[in-house]
Amino acid sequence: RQIVVPTETVTEIKDGQKESKEKRTMPGYVLVNMELNEESWSLVKNTPGVTGFVGASNEPVPLTQPEVDRLLHRADATATKVPTRAQFNIGESVKVVSGPLSDFSGEISEINQDAAKLKVLVSIFGRETPVEVGFDQVKKV
């Protein structure tokens, strides 16, 4: 028998450093594989923190194996996407640490959290030039 709390690994970037954390993909839900009988039903139902069950009349509804596979595959698939969030602010000074503009410094002019990209104004040949870099390509100065 098995108990699963579906999670994914999320990479956050803070001060130019990658940090991995586990995040629940279905907060508030626990998947339990068990032989459903009066004793096991009573044990789960009376467990502290259990407030109810998915199903009609607050009674558990068994999932089919394809449904379980789909739920767990969803958790595995999202884990490979590795969403990132970073704590940057417009106007903040950063230094590019990787890519063709490595060692250039500049000021953040735009932040795109969804794409995990920054637009940074760097001075190239004495001119302010906007360049797009990933969160993982810069560190705060």
Domain range annotation of the chain? 2-81, 93-140
Architecture (CATH level 2) of domain 93-140 = Roll (2.30)
pLDDT band at 33 (very low <50, low <70, confident <90, very high): confident
| Residue partners of 57: CB distance under 8 A and separation at least 6 | none
Print burial letters for 98-124: b (CB count within 10 Å at least 16), e (below 16).
eeebeebebbbeebeeeebbbbbebee
Higher pLDDT, 79 or 105: 105
pLDDT at 85: 61
| pLDDT tens sequence across 119-128 | 999 998 788 9
CA distance linking residue 37 with residue 102, whole number of Å: 63
At 77, is the secondary structure helix, strand, or coil?
A: helix
Q: How confident is the model over 49-65, as a mean pLDDT?
A: 76
In DSSP terms, which residues pair with 46 in a beta bridge?
A: none
- Per DSSP (E only), the strands in 1-141 are 2-4, 7-14, 17-24, 31-33, 93-96, 105-112, 117-124, 127-134, 138-140
Work out whether strand 31-33 and strand 93-96 pair parallel, antiparallel, or are unpaired: unpaired
